[in-house]
Amino acid sequence: MPESPAPPSSVPRRVTTAAGVLVALSGLLGLVDAVATSPLLRTAAPVALLVGVAVLALGGRGGAGLARRSVPAAAGLLLWALPDVVGAATSSAVGRLPVDQLALVSYAQLALSLVGLAGGVVAAVLVVRHGLLRRWASRALVVAVAADVLLTLLTLVPSLDLQLALLVSGAFLLRPVAVLLLGAGLLLHGRGSDLRAAGSDFLDRWRASTDVDGSAVRRRAGDEPAQESRRP
């Protein structure tokens, strides 16, 4: 089924493209950081995600963002991307705190993470319910938020065996992969019809080329009996 034209109030393609590049970059940096741990990458990945989400939520020179249609969805996205930036910015200072203050900071970070997850869930629900983004982008957002919720719930389980299993299995790669998929979904936002048209054109050209070759083969096969009949 052809993709329906975007309503006038939907997020412009320029905005989703800029946001998609930054979000996809965040996912790539997160994957690299998971393989080769680096303090720089651990900070750059969440910052790129926050900037990309801010572009999607607030818009820019390319047009208005999600806030034009839904302020709660835009605010929820910003809250969803904020905790990782705060955690990366304060990670070096947290290690130098006394033990009694360290527990307090840990609880504060957990509370901020839960608020961010709640914002992400609200944003995903509003985006899907009101059609604020196209199909692939909205589905990718749901996957990214769901991956965050799942990993957070698993890390809260007080089981050392489970934590070791998550670490060994590479389950923490789920977050950067989901973010990368979100970036890809934003890059594809509003391009479904163009991609289908390009694919259809490619198939038509390929079928035409095979039909020509098949016709030539059939002509050669049809000429052979005639040539044999003319032989003495």
Per-residue buried b or exposed e for 149-178, using 16+ beta carbons within 10 Å of the residue's own CB: bebbeeeeeeeeeeeeebeeeebeebbbbb
> Along the 232 residues of the chain, how does pLDDT read in single tens digits?
444 444 444 788 999 999 999 999 999 999 998 888 788 888 999 999 999 999 999 998 878 899 999 999 999 999 999 999 998 888 767 767 676 777 788 888 889 999 999 999 999 999 999 999 998 999 999 999 999 999 888 888 777 776 677 666 677 889 999 999 999 999 998 765 555 555 555 566 667 777 644 444 444 455 444 444 454 4
Q: Where along the chain do its domains lie?
A: 13-190, 192-232
Half-sphere exposure of 146 (CA within 13 A, CB side): 9
User: CB of 25 within 8 A of CB of 2?
Assistant: no
- pTM listed for this prediction: 0.77
